[in-house]
Each structure stands twice: as structure tokens, then as C-alpha cells.
Amino acid sequence: MKRYAIAAPGGYDALQLEDAADPTAGAGQVLIEVRAVGVNFADCIARMGLYASARVLKGYPLTPGFEVAGVVRAVGAGVDDLAPGDAVIGVTIFDAYQTVVALPRGQVFRLPAGWSFADGAAFPTAFLTAWYALHELALLRAGQTLLVHSAGGGVGQALCQLGRRAGAEVIGVVGSPAKIGAARAAGAAHVIDKSGTALWAAVERLAPRGLDVVCDANGPETLRAGYEHLAPGGKLVVYGFHTMFARGGSGRPDWLRLAWGWLRTPRFSPLDMTTRNRSVLAFNLSFMGERLDVLGRAMQELLDAAGSGALQPLPTRTLPFAAAADAHRALESGTTTGKLVLEV
């Protein structure tokens, strides 16, 4: 098989494509011939050496990636509900950037009818992140107001879809006029283009009583203001710190920018949260290996909803498997919408 190995953290040139022996299907496992691999911002941070779970759980050399779609090549002992040739989606904690993967049966799901492999590979990380934020942590309910930052991206569009499905009024925030349509199509009732509109003044007009839930992967740029705009009982859900990373360039960390971002990151007071009835919640799915059963059930629920038409696959842009560095460069530019997918 072919796989990407990051020998040591670095820029785009750290993504080295190499030959490796094919894995085999052990007991309870499914061997997948990969046709598509989802690309996430976490992959870029892992390449830079700044993703905590990459260092703690795997170490380097590291093969990045969390999601694949492909065809079953073989099954191990004890797996009797899948067979060679079945089209499937696989969820993994790292090791997705390779052309053959072996995964436990509980991390493999049938590809919905009518979906391409790119559709399948783009689905798990974005929708599981959105599901965990809204339904496990925020407990979003019908009639509430949800603010979604980066609403044109993969997770942002998944949040908009799930928020609309829950009956919430969704306000999407995007960074350019080109992303407005993507956020609206995903379910945002209102879209604020912060490149041409004062963001928080627009939020105050749209949600004068405050926001019930804010989903924020930006980090220091918007965390404090998001907290200040919560309604009584409101929840700020944090799952990333994208604005701490420079766009473009060599793909290496900008240490001065990171240090400035760290200094600007708010430290929320439990006393203030108690007094004002506001909450700050945070998570990182890649550290949830002990909760794969919960995430597996959520994944099946999400795919069932997708199969019924209640959820739609994300718009994708595909690149060849050999172009992982180009995919990372594009994702870090901040100009993409939907998901980037590597096709084998």
C-alpha cells in the first residue's frame, strides 16, 4: 500500500508518501481498500506537531487522518455482516492517509445508497464534531438561537444542518462573500459576512436577547465576545483555535503568532459563569478513544438520518491522493468551503 508518513513535525514537505506492507484483517476487524480520505484542519496541526493527541496517543512518525471510504477487501473472524465488495465508511484515530486500512468492525459503517466515496469520506469528522457539540454538550433545543462560526466549512455546515434539524434559529458567520451561499444552503437562517459587516453589532440585531449556543473553533479572535453575547443559560462550545495559525506561507508554525494567541485566549472565571448563568464547554474528539461506543452509535444515527434524506452529504472538492500537501495548503488558506477529499 501507499501511505503518508510524517517523520517529524514540519511544513508541507513533511508529508512523505511511502510504500508499506498491507495490513491484514485480525479478529473482529474489516480490511478496507481506501478510495477516498477526508482532510481536516486537525491533520494540518498534527503535521506541524501542535496537535496534542498526535503527540500523546501516536507520536512520530505519524500517519494523519481520521476518516476514509472504500470497499471491503476482507473481514476477520467474527465479522459476518460485511463481505468483500461492500462499500463502507471507516472512522479511525489517525492512520487514515493510506490506501489500505484495517479497522475494528464497530468503526466501519455502510456507505449510504447513492453516495460517492468522496461523500462518505467527508462525513464522519464534521458530523460527529457537530453532533457532539450540539447534542452531547449544548443539548440544543427547538426555538433556541445558535451561532456557528466558520459556517462555510465542513464542521460549520454540519452544525448548520443539525441545528436546523433540531428546530433552532441558526446564525452562520463566514469570512467572505463567497461562503454566504454555502452557509445558507446548509441551513443558516441568517448569514453574517464578517469581512464586510461588524460581526457583533449584527449579532445584537439578530439576537437581541442573546445567544443560546455559540459554536467556536476560532479561538482568541472571538471567544470572549461570544461569551459576552450569551443569553442567560447560554453555552459557549469550543472545539478549535484556528485563528492562532497563520494562513499561507510554508505551513510551519508561526511561533510569535501562537504566543500572541495564547496570551489573548480568555481565562473564564467559574465565579463569573455562576453569577451570570453562562457556561463554557470544550472537547477534542481525537482524545475520546474510550467513548468510541458512544460515537459509534451517534455515527449510525447520523447515517440513518442521511439515508432518509434528513441530512445531506457535504459539498466536496477532490484532489488526487498524491496531492495531500496541496490539500493542506488550500485548507490553511481559509478560502475553502465544505470538505477537501483525497481520492485514491
Question: What confidence tens digit (pLDDT) does each residue in 267-279 have?
Answer: 999 999 999 999 9
Average pLDDT over residues 256-261: 93
Q: Please confirm whether the linkage preceding 61 is cis (ω < 30° from 0).
A: yes
16 contacts: CB under 8 Å, gap ≥ 6: 4, 5, 6, 7
What angle do helix axes 292-307 and 124-131 make, rounded to 10 degrees?
Answer: 110
Instruction: Provide the grid cell at 260.
Output: 500572541
CB neighbours of residue 177 within 10 Å: 11
91 contacts: CB under 8 Å, gap ≥ 6: 66, 67, 103, 107, 108, 109, 124, 128, 295, 296, 299
Per-residue confidence band for 288, with pLDDT thresholds at 50, 70 and 90: confident
- H or E element that contains 121: helix 117-121
CATH class name, domain 2-123+313-343: alpha beta
DSSP 8-class letter at 3: E
Instruction: Provide the grid cell at 70.
Output: 472504500
Given a contact cutoff of 8 angstroms between Cβ atoms, the answer to whether 134 and 203 are in contact is no
DSSP 8-class letter at 210: -
Tell me the C-alpha distance between 128 and 318, whole Å.
Answer: 21
Question: Are 2-123+313-343 and 125-285 the same fold in CATH?
Answer: no
pLDDT digits (tens, 9 = 90+) for 44-85: 999 999 999 998 889 999 999 999 999 999 999 999 999 999
Q: In which residue are the cell numbers 469550543 written?
A: 238
Tell me the C-alpha distance between 181 and 246, whole Å.
Answer: 25
Phi and psi, residue 58, nearest 5°: -120, -55
Strand partners, 110: 88
Tell me the C-alpha distance between 129 and 278, whole Å.
Answer: 22
pLDDT of 231 strictly over 80: yes
Q: Which fold has domain 125-285?
A: Rossmann fold (3.40.50)
Domain segments of the chain as ranges: 2-123+313-343, 125-285
pLDDT digits (tens, 9 = 90+) for 105-131: 999 999 999 999 999 999 999 999 999
Comparing 92-96, 192-196, 292-296, the range with the smallest average pLDDT is: 292-296
